[in-house]
Amino acid sequence: MKNKIIVPTDLTPIAGQAIKQAVAIALKTNFGLTLLHVLTEKAESKEEVTKKLLAEAENIYSHSGIRCDILVREGSIFDIIPYEACERNYDLMVIGTHGIKGIKQMLFGANILKLAEKICIPLLVVQEKSQAIKSFKKIVLPVGSHDTFNDAVEAVLFFAVVFDAEVHLYSTRKNGFDWPDSLINNIENAVRRFESRGIQLVRVKEDQNVYSLGYAKQTLKYAQSVGADLICTMSVPSKEYYYFADSDKENLLLNEYHIPILCAGGGKTEK
């Protein structure tokens, strides 16, 4: 463990929401924070940005006692943010998404999925209307056949252990669809892993009751019904379900309930 959280910020209110959530996690874990800003052509000067970030870092320390570093980099967010996350020593990234704004989405909006796929550490995505959660008590983990599903299990384990959370291992069954061996093995391994750590585990099996190609709508419906604080999903779409996987994950990341989404397994290519 590196005991550090990195928070990309574009100096907007939604980035402030991500910072609040990161502070709440840091207070529980005693982790340090790093604020990262990527300069663009239309951005303020590096000096102005640095001044604002230092003021934010000082404000965080004065109100919470959490030590906070700052980074100002130049380049593409799709290069700089993954590089800092994967090449530096961080355990978690917390980022805010602006959601849909007309035809285009703002920074971290339409691009959030593209970015998530490149982040090799757990990535917590919050929306502008998400509440900063001080204690994650219920976490929904939809099962998956991905080779990297274990990354999601480990990411959920981190939150479950820190916050003494209850994990809902969730699956749906469609008529005429048989589960592949890889999915069954992932479920069995996840159950063993959670039980070995003494995690409160609820195994949920539902028949498909929401008409949709993917699993996002029914997962969200279930998560909302049980008052879940967090949903975990894989960052990289499954090759098996590529034709709907991206839109499904986007539905989760921009969900109408404003539930934070934990992404895992990024920076890898499924075998």
β-strands 100-101, 104-105 pairing: antiparallel
Report the share of the chain in percent with pLDDT over 90: 62
Residue 124, strand partner residues: 94, 262
Distances (CA, A) of 32 to 15, 133, 146: 17, 18, 32
Residue with tokens 């959670």: 194
State the DSSP code for 73.
E
CA separation for the pair 159, 145 (Å, rounded):
22
pLDDT in tens, 46-84: 899 999 999 999 999 999 999 999 999 998 889 999 999
d(CA 225, CA 263): 21
The total of other beta-carbon atoms located within 10 Å of residue 1's CB is: 8
pLDDT of residue 171: 94
Q: Measure Cα distances from 17 to 24, 131, 208 in Å.
A: 11, 8, 34
Euclidean distance between CA atoms 232 and 170, whole angstroms: 10
Is it the case that residue 241 has pLDDT exceeding 90?
no
Pairwise CA distance, residues 62 & 50, whole Å: 18
pLDDT tens-digit map of 108-157: 445 788 888 899 999 999 998 888 999 999 999 999 888 889 999 999 99
Phi-psi region of 219 (alpha: psi -120 to 50; beta: other; left: phi over 0): alpha
Phi, psi of 197 (to 5 degrees): -100, 5
- Sorted by where each starts, the structural domains of the chain and their CATH numbers stand as 4-127 (3.40.50.620), 138-264 (3.40.50.620)
Task: Report if pTM > 0.75.
Answer: yes
Alpha carbons within 13 angstroms on the beta-carbon side of residue 16 total 8
